[in-house]
Structure 1
Amino acid sequence: MSEENLKIADILFAYIKGTISECELEELTKWVEAAEEHRELFQQIVTSVSYQDKEAVYRRFDSYYDFDRLRGAIRGRKRGMWKYVAAAAVIALPLLVSLLLQIRQEGIFPEERMREISLLPGKSMATLTLSDGSSKLLSPENFDLMDGSKRIVNDPGGLSYQVEDTSECMETAYNEITVPRGGEYKVTLDDGTRIWVNSESYIRFPVVFHGDERRIWVSGEVFLEVTKDSERPFVVNTEKLDIKVLGTQFNVRAYPDEKCIQTTLVEGCVRVDNSLGEVAVLAPSEQLLYNAQNGKHEVREVDTELYVSWKDGVYVFVSQRLEDIMLLISKWYDVDVFYQNSTVKDIIFSGRLKRYENAETLLKVFERLGGVRFSIQGKTVIVEDE
């Protein structure tokens, strides 16, 4: 392999792994744009999950860098095949914002492709329902309120329950937090457990935990850092599962409109009981997938960052279907998604999206590399093949 080809192969591998620098991404973009053969080779390498190993990238890159053979293969195919071939777009948005503006000025992207796509991110907002049934809208503004004898404090860090003398709070009173589409909120319960509540989610919990367990109810997606208490296990109840822990960090995704419930363990140990009486115990970096339709579950090892990074302000996508990516985007950016052609749902992408950034840059990169186009009509994202 020539020195130039080896350099491009190294950049391609950095692109696949998500470690590509701004300068490398600019060089890769120019190389892809330089020839149709380059673009063909690029899509062949990055669309397969088999090339997470650098040596495999080298071998594939070297074997396909015969452009005479590639030209013949390309002529023998229908041009439309590109529409349905998966393409990866591993990007770091803070770097790409300035880079893509530069690319546009240099004319690499045709002007007609730079249509206005405005998807503003969500923000901290929720509704708190107190034990007496009254409600209060939540935002990062500071306030204190009382629910009976319990003091609740709200500040930019979220909602926290501060009960100094639990002997005065022997009755079990419940609060609820409902987060709409395009929202999120953080809650610290009276035992110190911290909960990140994602868009379109709901939690119900005691203002003060009594008895021999700490039980809450969840719908949607939450990430929990549970305070350890060996005498009182913490139980997360979804419609189909009970997840029991002593002290741990884990993510639960249990949206009613999704057929699978995910429990992803970052640290500690959790026991999951399903509605059929089956039990599974998870170790760190394991995920339980529960099929809500047939009651079956499976445990697999995963990269937890892919499932919990949202609470740190980042979405990470690795070889995910466009439909699954757009499902996350629809909840956080509070939009509906309409597919002109169902085939595009299965295009595979990889990428990183800062949760508090406009999604415009990510979608434009997907357009350029993935054979798909996006447009906005009101609160609807229209997706069509190129």
Structure 2
Amino acid sequence: MQQERFEYLVSKELGDRLTTSEQDELRTFLGDAEWRMQYNLLQQYWSEKHSQNTRDRELFQQILEKMQPLELDNHPTHFRRLYYWFGGVASILVCVGLWLLLKINSSEQRQFIADQKQQKVILDDGTEVILNYKSTLLYPNKFSDNLREVTVVGEAFFRVAKEADRPFIVKTKHAQLKVLGTSFNVRAYPDEPTTEASLIEGALEVHDEEGETMILRPSEKAVITNQPKNFTSKSKRKTAKKLKIQFLRPTDLHAVETTWLENKLVFKDVTFDELAKTLARKYDVRVDFKDIGLTKLRFSARFEDENLDQILQALQLAASFQYEKQNNKIMIYK
């Protein structure tokens, strides 16, 4: 019965349909290494099938949609039939996942790409990683006995499992973050001029390419220019005026740095060029500027439920520009 309940919770989690109470229930399951292994296999298998086989994805979604509106008390017979039907499907996925596990060496690096908005990965040690859309996580099937190491391309939020004798290392192209137990956000997009690490709680040791080291405290952010010799934090903002860094109170830090977890967009004194890159990733479009001077316009704004047109129209109220849309391309001009 536990197996069936676990499969049901995972099916809803993969379809982004878990209630708050069900999230807590699944988290309890994942505290056990055996359930966590099954979860990782199901998640990895579905991610690969999602990327490679549209028909399987549609069938999986159809099952989830049929399950969602049903309540056990109101439809006991129908719900139970669907429940066991999906349990059988999930069991097959578990078997496939276990077969894959036997085929893959535990030390082999795996690649997980968030290809359907934000996606969550539970690592071998219980660490939770939430990846922003189109971000990539490289990680081993099983961490070594004395080190936990992953690589991020893009943006990710970490809740690291505490293990004092086994440091957790996050690598990006231009920085390395060392953690003992904490939650933090890392932003390391290849097309952006800086790499950022924002600490929510715990402690974070940041290393840049030049060998400089900085220890962050909660509500501090390290900003590393993706060029040699320019490494600063909020507490040393006077040395980084050209980066427009200002001290953020804890409430501001949570609002600005991690709002993407709630599918919200918050911009605080960013250039139009930076803002456009964020919109391009979120809405899967290409944004070009006909007039290069427009890229230097600066904006502070907050968006929650607005679509792309509504966002651009709101920005037009603050600055003088026009835009044209054609398929998945947007041209911005004076």
Shorter chain as denominator, the TM-score bin is 0.5 to 0.7
The answer for the alignment partner of 2:264 in structure 1 is: 314
Q: Percent of counterpart pairs with the same letter?
A: 28
Letter in 2 for 1:285: S
Q: Which has the higher helix share?
A: 2
- Give the total of aligned pairs: 236
Does residue 238 of structure 1 match 2:172? yes
SS of 2:301's equivalent in the other structure is strand
Q: CA deviation at 1:147?
A: 5.1
Distance 1:137 1:368 in 2: 40
Distance 2:100 2:163 in 1: 24
The answer for the alignment partner of 2:108 in structure 1 is: 173
Does residue 193 of structure 1 match 2:127? yes
Distance 2:124 2:100 in 1: 13
- Equivalent position to 1:286, from 200, 206, 220: 220
Letter in 2 for 1:375: E
Q: Which runs of 5+ in 2 are unaligned?
A: 1-42, 52-56, 62-89, 235-246
Letter in 2 for 1:384: Y
Q: Which runs of 5+ in 1 are unaligned?
A: 1-127, 152-168
The answer for the alignment partner of 2:35 in structure 1 is: none
- Equivalent position to 1:220, from 140, 151, 154: 154
Distance 2:265 2:289 in 1: 22
Distance 1:147 1:291 in 2: 43
Using a 3 Å threshold, how does the CA distance of structure 1 residues 176 and 233 change in structure 2: closer, same or farther? same
- Equivalent position to 1:381, from 306, 309, 330: 330
Distance 2:173 2:300 in 1: 32
- Equivalent position to 1:256, from 180, 186, 190: 190
8 Å contact from structure 2 (residues 185, 258) kept in 1: yes
8 Å contact from structure 1 (residues 367, 374) kept in 2: no
8 Å contact from structure 1 (residues 268, 284) kept in 2: yes
8 Å contact from structure 2 (residues 106, 141) kept in 1: no
TM-score normalised per structure 2: 0.64
TM-score normalised per structure 1: 0.56
Q: CA deviation at 1:149?
A: 7.3
Which of structures 1 and 2 has the bigger CA Rg? 1
Q: CA deviation at 1:135?
A: 4.2
8 Å contact from structure 1 (residues 170, 210) kept in 2: no
The answer for the alignment partner of 1:41 in structure 2 is: none
- Equivalent position to 1:136, from 42, 45, 49: 49
8 Å contact from structure 2 (residues 118, 261) kept in 1: no
Distance 1:185 1:296 in 2: 32
CA RMSD of aligned residues (A): 2.7
Distance 1:274 1:219 in 2: 16
Letter in 1 for 2:298: I
Using a 3 Å threshold, how does the CA distance of structure 1 residues 369 and 276 change in structure 2: closer, same or farther? closer
SS of 2:176's equivalent in the other structure is strand
| Cα deviation digits, residues 129-151 of structure 1 (max 9, x gap) | 78xxx943267857544155759
| Cα deviation digits, residues 68-101 of structure 1 (max 9, x gap) | xxxxxxxxxxxxxxxxxxxxxxxxxxxxxxxxxx
8 Å contact from structure 1 (residues 353, 359) kept in 2: no
SS of 1:136's equivalent in the other structure is helix
| Cα deviation digits, residues 296-347 of structure 1 (max 9, x gap) | 3111143322122101221111222222111100011111111121222222
SS of 1:258's equivalent in the other structure is coil
Using a 3 Å threshold, how does the CA distance of structure 1 residues 147 and 136 change in structure 2: closer, same or farther? farther
8 Å contact from structure 2 (residues 106, 140) kept in 1: no
Letter in 2 for 1:194: E
Greater relative contact order (Cα 8 A, min sep 6): structure 1 or 2?
Answer: 1
The answer for the alignment partner of 2:311 in structure 1 is: 362
Q: CA deviation at 1:361?
A: 1.6
The answer for the alignment partner of 1:371 in structure 2 is: 320
Query: Aligned ranges for residues 102-181 of structure 1 at < 5 Å?
Result: 135-137=48-50, 143-144=93-94, 145-146=96-97, 148=99, 150=101, 171-180=106-115
8 Å contact from structure 2 (residues 210, 228) kept in 1: no
Does residue 277 of structure 1 match 2:190? no
- Equivalent position to 1:353, from 288, 303, 307: 303
